[in-house]
């Protein structure tokens, strides 16, 4: 699905100083879509592949893609420990799909050598909804977002099996065989979704994250 962006007047007129620098981890996955969404929401998006680039951002998006491949690349590019350190220090982060998996404190159904970042106290099951052919769309009620239900696209998506005491559940699957499964969460400055808000043209999750970065 291709996003169809709607112009955001607030973003177009925002003063330069109000534009936080938000990185998108550019090792693998749907980087371009997040870059476009962040720019429409009044941020200054940049690609992050090096520790020096990570050190310069106010917040970071971890995109969808293949979580085990991204975790290996984090090690290869010497980013794993610096990213863990920045998360511990309170850097805002948003992960979609594979990004949610990477931000978890525990991951089920993954490789033994896969790495994760402990950004949110949660247990995530990888590929929980099934294979690529089981991808689907549905409408979700998303806590904290005005404007009615959000169309959500799930592609080989994870779900959250356990959310820690301090983790806020923002959205669950409303009906069907997966009813009640947790698909969006937030803990402090860290946000994660099972689905891909960057592909639908609905900017509300990205706007929420940009405001989280500004507040931090």
97 belongs to the catalytic site: yes
pLDDT at 3: 55
Q: What percent of the chain shows pLDDT beyond 90?
A: 81
Q: Kindly state the tokens that stand for 37.
A: 């969404």
Q: Which of 4-13, 156-165, 202-211 has the lowest mean pLDDT?
A: 4-13
pLDDT at 60: 98
pLDDT at 132: 61
Q: Domain of 124: which CATH number?
A: 3.40.50.880
CA–CA distance from 5 to each of 11, 119, 196, 197, 201 (Å)? Answer: 13, 29, 15, 12, 5
Instruction: Specify which residues 68 forms β-bridges with.
Output: none
Structural domain includes residue 66: yes
Catalytic residue among 97, 116, 187, 206: 97
Query: pTM higher than 0.85 for the full model?
Result: yes
Other CB atoms within 10 Å distance of the CB of residue 14? 15
Task: Check whether 11 has a pLDDT greater than 70.
Answer: no
Structural domain includes residue 2: no
Are β-strands 136-140 and 120-125 bridged in parallel, bridged antiparallel, or unpaired? unpaired
pLDDT at 166: 97
Best CA proximity match to 147, nearest among 199, 201, 195, 190: 201
- Give 64-84 pLDDT, tens digit per residue: 999 999 999 999 999 999 999
- Give 142-159 pLDDT, tens digit per residue: 999 999 999 999 988 999
**Domain region containing 106:** 9-215
- Give 84-133 pLDDT, tens digit per residue: 999 999 999 999 999 999 999 999 998 888 899 999 999 999 999 876 64
pLDDT at 6: 45
Structural domain includes residue 196: yes
pLDDT at 111: 84
Task: Check whether 13 has a pLDDT greater than 60.
Answer: no
Structural domain includes residue 133: yes
Structural domain includes residue 120: yes
Span 191-213, average pLDDT: 96
Structural domain includes residue 64: yes
Catalytic residue among 40, 116, 196, 206: 196
d(CA 200, CA 202): 5
> Across the chain, how many H-helices and E-strands are there?
7, 12
Structural domain includes residue 199: yes
Structural domain includes residue 4: no
Start-to-end C-alpha separation, the chain? 32
Average pLDDT, whole number, for the chain?
A: 91
Q: How many domains does the chain have?
A: 1
53 belongs to the catalytic site: no
116 belongs to the catalytic site: no
């Amino acid at each position: 699905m291709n996003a169809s962006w709607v112009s955001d007047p607030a973003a177009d007129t925002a003063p330069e100083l109000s534009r936080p620098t938000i990185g998108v981890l550019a090792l693998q996955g749907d980087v371009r879509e997040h870059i476009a969404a962040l720019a429409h929401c009044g941020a200054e998006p940049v690609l992050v592949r090096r520790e020096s680039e990570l050190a310069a951002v106010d917040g970071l998006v971890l995109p969808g893609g293949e979580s085990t491949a991204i975790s290996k690349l984090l090690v290869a590019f010497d980013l794993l420990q610096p990213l863990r350190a920045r998360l511990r220090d309170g850097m805002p982060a948003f992960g979609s799909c594979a990004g949610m998996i990477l931000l978890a404190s525990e991951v089920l159904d993954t490789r033994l050598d896969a790495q994760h970042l402990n950004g949110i106290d949660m247990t995530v099951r990888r590929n929980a909804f099934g294979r690529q052919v089981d991808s689907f769309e549905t409408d979700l009620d998303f806590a904290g977002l005005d404007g009615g239900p959000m169309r959500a696209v799930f592609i080989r998506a994870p779900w959250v099996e356990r959310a820690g005491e301090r983790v806020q559940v923002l959205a669950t699957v409303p009906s069907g065989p997966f009813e009640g499964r947790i698909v969006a969460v937030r803990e402090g400055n860290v946000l994660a979704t099972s689905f891909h808000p960057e592909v639908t043209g609905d900017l509300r999750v990205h706007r929420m994250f940009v405001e989280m970065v500004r507040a931090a």
